[in-house]
Structure 1
Amino acid sequence: MNIKSLLLGSAAALAAVSGAQAADAIVAAEPEPMEYVRVCDAFGTGFFYIPGTETCLKIGGYVRFQVDWNDNSAAAGPDDNWNARTRALLNFDARTDTELGTLRSYIGLRTWAEGDYNGGSFEIDEAYLTIGGFKVGYGYNYWDAGLSGETDDLGSNRVNMIGYEYKGDAFSAGIFVDELTKRQDGTGVLGIQAGVLDSALYEPENDNVGIEAQISGKFGAVSAQLLGGYDFHTEEGAIRAIVTAAVGPGELGLAAVWASGVSAYYDRSEWAVAAQYAAKFGKFTVTPAFQYYGNLGYDTSLGNEYNWLSNDAWRAGVTLDYAITSGLTFKSTVNYTKITGDTGAGFDDDSWTGFVRLQRTF
């Protein structure tokens, strides 16, 4: 056997062995493709697609630490004029494009700790859904909006509601039917004493009804809102107008409210006017403000009939906002209130109130 025959035989043997090993080889399965979270640009920043769906979700909220103070020794006692509070809010905003318009569901969960060690209380801040302009659920209604400072008191509500709102480029209008089950005691206002829920007029088991409607528009640098609400249980209503305009380095705001009588929409006073100017200087915003109340509070001694009192009041204050860094803000306010007339036991006819707040928003 020559060398050529030996080499050819060896090559054939190696080929046979390699073929047999290839037949017995284990082939690894290809990995499943990973689905990464995709950014959703359709509804603004912060939204992302829920994996496997066409629904966009945004998660946000804040953590807030605040210290309130006042000099009202008649109501709080000389050793109890400040209070520290910590609040946390977590919200989930889910939106999907449909043939009927954007389908949106919003859930806000809020908790706070105040003066104890049990972790505070927990509540649903808001929970509602919207589609094509229709809105149903629980949340802040039109009356919660006000001027941007911390001096005015123009009404505030969280209610179960159902209604419709049209939003255009420069004009919007909406109408809602509300479930009204409680109101704030009109004598506990102006920061002198916290509002107290009055169950004599609105028992929890009573499903009372109200209706509110608002039109608003933007005309260049000027924005205006006209709001009205009617409480069918008390058979009283209220109207409110707010106008804001860009002036110089900030924004000027004017507001007026009038109530025919005590209602769940507004029970502070028969009428009130307010003004403020929010001046911006870099990271600082300084907001001096003023509000006057005519016929403040009401007489509760007549059962379900409530008459406005002859008290008048005014409040003046200033609010300072400072943007420390992205997502972290500082806010402080100081307000002075003067009431004329009979303020009743436990109330000062003049008082200083305010707070200091640090908030991280994400």
Structure 2
Amino acid sequence: MKISRIFLCASVSLVAAPGLYAADAIVAAEPEPLEYVRICDAFGLQYFYIPGTDTCLKLSGRVRTQGEWYDAYNPDSDFGTLWRNRAELGIDTATDTEYGPLKTNTVLRWQTKDTTLQEKLLFANISLAGITVGKLDSQFISYTDYAGNVANDDVIYDGPYELNQLTYMYDAGNGFTAVVSLEDSNSSDNATYFGDPDPAATHDWVTSKADHYMPDVVAGAGYKADVWELKFVGGYDSIVEEGAIKARIDVAFGDFKVFLMGGWNTDGDKLNNYAGTNLASGACPVDRADCGWGDWALWTGFTEPISDKLSANVQIAYTDSKIFAGTANVQWRPVEHLLVQPEISYTNWDAANTDQVAGIMRFERKF
């Protein structure tokens, strides 16, 4: 019996042992599923999904450094060499909705002139179903694709930049497009150009913006075919109560591209937000309007590829007020996303009886 009890106790111990040791066992936790960044190709290149969301994100930007010799916009400039640096960061988002893509566009800019650092919220806007609200360049210049492929493309003023707006863009999908925009000229960098810098001034181009409450209006339409594109756009300055109209045609002969753009001012004796001037007030004789368009302005230019990495660009502009501006450059891209651009400009202001020769040497890396 004693032996039987010993055997029974040993058996019970063996059966109970696994339960006793189980309390001390270490169980590894299940690993969390790893979500890699996924490419989002529904909205174009460079977009990727923000992990855990259905929103796509694109990061882009540029770094630019350039030397400048004199100033094509200012006959009074007397500096021998001025060096500028600029950095921009672009942040774009897009999400698909039942009304189409919901997008945002933000561009931040930092730049130096001599030792001064300038910071700016360049663009900040939201778009959905063809409607865009927020800050971007005026549709008067962006809808017509600005001017030529040169740095000094707006020595002859072609419209305001960086302003708040409410815009509707229509695209028929067959080459026809149209745009209507309500724009706030007070939010533009050009806002002081056509305001009242001197309350005692009596020139007819001076108009006070103190009681500004109505937006400016821009409207345009265009058509694009295989090798040519034609666009018209008009802008109305609600303060000056005048405006301007531009028409532009682009034609491609193979790789050779040429454009012609003309503008008409509703009152050649006045400046307005859409037919103004980039020349400082003190540089014009008697009346600053002498350095605007007058009744009309013309721009033309071309791009000629020389090789896969090299191209030449020329732009010429002239106004009814006898301002001539010519610019030529060479754009060299030794590797992808890197630009080296020497440029030379000549400007003549007949009313001010003065001229200027200016040069730029630009280096720019985009990403």
| TM-score category of the 2 structures, normalised to the smaller one | 0.7 to 0.9
- The structure 2 residue matched to 1:350, chosen from 351, 355, 358, is 355
Q: Secondary structure at the match of 1:21?
A: helix
- The structure 2 residue matched to 1:249, chosen from 255, 258, 263, is 255
Which stretches in structure 2 are left out of the alignment for 5+ residues? 1-9, 197-206, 277-291
Task: Choose 215-224 or 260-269, whichever is displaced more.
Answer: 260-269
- The structure 2 residue matched to 1:265, chosen from 253, 258, 274, is 274
**Would the alpha carbon gap of residues 212 and 249 (structure 1) be closer, same or farther in structure 2, given more than 3 Å must change?**
same
Q: What fraction of aligned residue pairs are identical, expressed as a percent? A: 29
Q: Distance in 2 between matches of 1:28 and 1:183?
A: 61
Which stretches in structure 1 are left out of the alignment for 5+ residues? 1-9, 186-194, 296-311
Q: Distance in 1 between matches of 2:210 and 2:27?
A: 69
Matched, 1:122 2:148: no
Q: With structure 1 as the length reference, what TM-score do the two structures score?
A: 0.80
Matched, 1:164 2:146: no
1:301 aligns with: none
Matched, 1:278 2:307: no
Letter in 2 for 1:100: Y
Q: Distance in 1 between matches of 2:121 and 2:213?
A: 20
- The C-alpha deviation readout for 1:101-142, integer Å capped at 9, x for no partner, is 1111111111111111x5x01111000100001111111122
- The C-alpha deviation readout for 1:5-36, integer Å capped at 9, x for no partner, is xxxxx999878756653464221111211222
Q: How far 1:339 sits from its partner (Å)?
A: 2.8
Letter in 1 for 2:140: W
Q: How far 1:180 sits from its partner (Å)?
A: 1.7
C-alpha root-mean-square deviation of aligned residues, in Å? 2.7
**Would the alpha carbon gap of residues 244 and 127 (structure 1) be closer, same or farther in structure 2, given more than 3 Å must change?**
same
- The structure 2 residue matched to 1:131, chosen from 128, 133, 149, is 128
Output aligned runs, 1:58-207, within 5 Å. Answer: 58-70=58-70, 75-77=76-78, 80-116=79-115, 120-144=117-141, 145-150=145-150, 152-153=153-154, 154-169=158-173, 170-181=175-186, 197-200=193-196, 201=207, 203=209, 206-207=212-213
Q: How far 1:356 sits from its partner (Å)?
A: 1.1
Q: Distance in 1 between matches of 2:37 and 2:226?
A: 40
- The C-alpha deviation readout for 1:265-309, integer Å capped at 9, x for no partner, is 2213121112111001211110122111112xxxxxxxxxxxxxx
How many residues are aligned here? 320
Alignment check: 8 A CA contact 2:99 2:129 kept: yes
- The C-alpha deviation readout for 1:315-351, integer Å capped at 9, x for no partner, is 22212111121221112211112232x30xxxx6222
Alignment check: 8 A CA contact 2:212 2:239 kept: no
**Would the alpha carbon gap of residues 149 and 168 (structure 1) be closer, same or farther in structure 2, given more than 3 Å must change?**
same
Q: With structure 2 as the length reference, what TM-score do the two structures score?
A: 0.79
Task: Choose 99-108 or 163-172, whichever is displaced more.
Answer: 163-172
Q: Secondary structure at the match of 1:264?
A: coil
Q: How far 1:95 sits from its partner (Å)?
A: 0.6
